[in-house]
Amino acid sequence: MKFVILYGTESGNAETVADDLVDELSADNEVESIDMTDAELDTLTPDAFFLVVCSTHGDGGLPASAVPFAELLDAERPDLTGIRYAMFGLGDSSYETYSRGSERIDERLAALGAIRVGEYGRHDASDGSLPNDTALEWARDLVSTLDDVAAVA
Amino acid sequence: MNEPAAPKPAPRIAIVGAGPAGCYTAQFLRKRWSLADIVIYDRHDAPYGLIRYGVAPDHLGTKAIAKQFDRLFARDGVTFVGATDIGTDLTLDQLQADFDVVVLATGLWADRMIDTFHSAATTAVGAAPVAAAPLAGVYGAGRLTRLINGHPAESVQGLHIGRRTVIVGNGNVAVDLVRLMLTPAEVLVSHGVPNEVAAALTAGPLEHMDVVGRSPVYAAKFDLAMIRELGKLDDVRFTSDSPGDDVDENDETAAQAAGTDAPADGTAKADAIRELVEGSSPTATRTVAFHFGWTPDRVFASDAGEVGDAGEAGEARVSRVTFTATPGAGQRDATLELSTDSVCTAVGFTETEGALLRRDAIASPTADLERGLLADGLYCVGWFRRGPVGTIPANRADARTVADAIIHDVEAAAAVLEAAVTST
Ligand SMILES: Cc1cc2nc3c(=O)[nH]c(=O)nc-3n(C[C@H](O)[C@H](O)[C@H](O)COP(=O)(O)OP(=O)(O)OC[C@H]3O[C@@H](n4cnc5c(N)ncnc54)[C@H](O)[C@@H]3O)c2cc1C
Ligand SMILES: Cc1cc2nc3c(=O)[nH]c(=O)nc-3n(C[C@H](O)[C@H](O)[C@H](O)COP(=O)(O)O)c2cc1C
């Protein structure tokens, strides 16, 4: 299976999550990780499964590296029918806008026709833990359900 | 891309300062050059700079950013050399001789002082300031936040916060102090604050705080989330002397003059303060009074001997502070006078007096600060490059810019060398 990890970060946590997901998945799969800042429309192809990892900054806003991607989607409004993705949001529940940044990306992808699959993963930084372990567990669960889906199909 | 992968240069890189700017720079350089020797020096035993010794201990999410940097040393092959002060233990020249690239990421962590506040005020307004010893009871936020974070070189000796304190400043560091000083000792200790520091901060116990800022509320520097967080404190009534309702035209002009993107942003700040005031309990036993648009004037000491039980015998202690209305900030009265046991200034950070590494002294005529270049093979990043403003993420953006410049310069030099070799 081909995975593309699209990450949006501001203080770097989501990027280290993406690095760990690459290590985890690359034993059995083709995996690539891309900073949302560098994503182009032809990155979004139906032959890959997307793991979207995005934090929240400001007051419920997008992290800096996700802003160009959101602007690209808003400006070009590509048809994302056939694209499947899963979401993992990084945030801090001491903010009222917990994990809202990731939701802003999720809403855009869904509105353009992409289909979200599996659990919406979240990590809460207010307990002082790193998101990496939570994200790995989330990805393992997700991949096992994807395998089920593939086996049935 | 089908070009054959060129062998990547593996320069030897020294980074001075293991704060966020230095660590992010190491991350970006490591991504590009998997084989480069990268060594980060710090004068402290432990890395991470102000993430460790500045960021408030109850902000666990922000503190946790340090954990991503643990990976640099644990598995990315970056070497940490602590307890090494560059300038004294090792000279900058020595480092430059031993490494191809040296990056200064030493920050700016000394408290900015208010001349008339940090020394006993015995002069009339307008007269030359006297170089008096620091007045007991006046503290810089840097010292307080280092104490709160268990900095090894700080001592709680002489710290007396009584029943009333004045916080000067309107930034996030001032708000950190407000919150931490009103947090119960046992909660502070549960976040790792040393016992004796938690005890000293809550000894008064504080009954009243005045938080005084130079700008009108619309131009205050704190983030909204920081103000909203204050609403979670128990048993505190908040007040504000900022004119209530809608954006006052004068305030708006003052805010624009102060360079914020008022009124949109500024209105939100005024709203956040108003919500905090309106949402707080009128019967709380502790009060926090915000004052906006007041410029520090002077501090007055109680006479030696007239000291209360908190002071050392015979020591002159702060007893009163005055402020004058900031021109154009929409205040009606000319002065604000507050009686107090202690004063905490949170008005920014600056170069340490006598610092051996000073950016302007080191920069060569070919320096290009936009890219972080100080001289051939010598770069700077973070607060040391940009000045003491901006959050941890801002240092990541900064580190990317400077790392890109380093990568460009090193690879361009390697290409020139290669061309010279193939042409002979
Ligand atoms: C009290 C306070 C609270 C803050 N709270 C937050 C917050 O909640 N969230 C946020 O995003 N930002 C916060 N900030 C801002 C943030 O801390 C800074 O943006 C950031 O730390 C600047 O990074 P730096 O690497 O440039 O400097 P520093 O973090 O200061 O790192 C510099 C490092 O260099 C070392 N060093 C200095 N001189 C030498 C030398 N000669 N030889 C060897 N080593 C040396 C120091 O020991 C230090 O480790 C806060 C700042 C302060 C002061
Ligand atoms: C300045 C700042 C603002 C933040 N604002 C929010 C927010 O509004 N909502 C939220 O859920 N988390 C917020 N967070 C928490 C981050 O989303 C969380 O720390 C995350 O792990 C950061 O991931 P990143 O390093 O990939 O950007 C904020 C963090 C910082 C430092």
Q: What is the CA(A91)–ligand 2 centre distance, in A?
A: 5
The whole-number pLDDT of residue B114 equals 82
Find where tokens 């020139």 sit: B416
Using a CB–CB cutoff of 8 Å, tell me whether A113 touches chain B.
Answer: no
* B178-212 per-residue burial string, b: 16 or more CB within 10 A, e: under 16: bbbbbbebeebeebebbeebbebbbebebebbbbb
CA dihedral over A57, A62, A63, A64, signed as positive or negative: negative
Question: Is pLDDT larger for residue B356 or for residue A149?
Answer: B356
pLDDT tens for residues B166-210?
Answer: 999 999 999 999 999 999 999 999 999 999 999 999 999 999 999
Q: Ligand 2 centre and the CA of A109: distance in Å?
A: 21
Dihedrals phi, psi of B119, to nearest 5 degrees: -140, 155
Q: Do A12 and B68 touch (CB under 8 A)?
A: yes
- Nearest CA-CA partner of B15 in B87, B99, B105: B105
From the CA of A11, how far away is ligand 2's center (Å)? 8
Question: Is-contact B346 B171, C-beta < 8 A?
Answer: yes
Tell me if A85 sits within 8 A of A109, measured CB to CB.
yes
Task: Give the chain B residue whose CA is nearest to the CA of A95.
Answer: B225
The pLDDT tens digits of the residues spanning A18-69 come to 999 999 999 889 999 999 999 999 999 999 999 999 999 988 999 999 999 9
Give me the pLDDT at residue B362, please.
87
Amino acid B111: pLDDT: 84
Q: Which of B273, B203, B208, B264 is nearest to B236 (CA)?
A: B208
Task: Provide, as residue numbers in chain A, all residues whose Cβ is less than 8 Å from the Cβ of B61.
Answer: 92, 94, 125-126, 128
Whole-number Å distance between alpha carbons of B169 and B18: 28
DSSP classification of residue B25: H
What is the ipTM score, two decimals? 0.90
Query: Per residue in B308-353, pLDDT tens?
Result: 444 455 567 899 999 999 987 776 778 999 999 999 999 888 887 7
Phi and psi at residue B289, to the nearest 5°: -110, 120
Q: How many beta carbons lie within 10 A of that of residue B281, not counting itself? A: 12
CA dihedral of residues A108, A112, A115, A116 (deg, nearest 10): 0
Q: Does ligand 1 lie within 6 Å of residue B104's CB atom?
A: no
- Asked if B228's CB is within 8 angstroms of A92's CB, the reply is no
A96/B228 Cβ within 8 A: yes
Whether the CB of A90 is below 8 Å from some CB of chain B: the reply is: no
Count Cα atoms within 13 angstroms, Cβ side, for A81: 1
**Chain B nearest C-alpha distance from A41 (Å):** 18
3-class DSSP string for B357-416 = CCHHHHCCCCCEHHHCEEECCEEECCHHHHCCCCCHHHHHHHHHHHHHHHHHHHHHHHHH
Cα-atom radius of gyration of chain B, to the nearest Å? 24
Q: Does B68 touch chain A (CB under 8 A)?
A: yes
Q: In chain B, which residues have pLDDT < 70?
A: 1-7, 118-134, 244-265, 303-315, 331, 424
Alpha carbons A143 and A148: distance in angstroms, whole number: 9
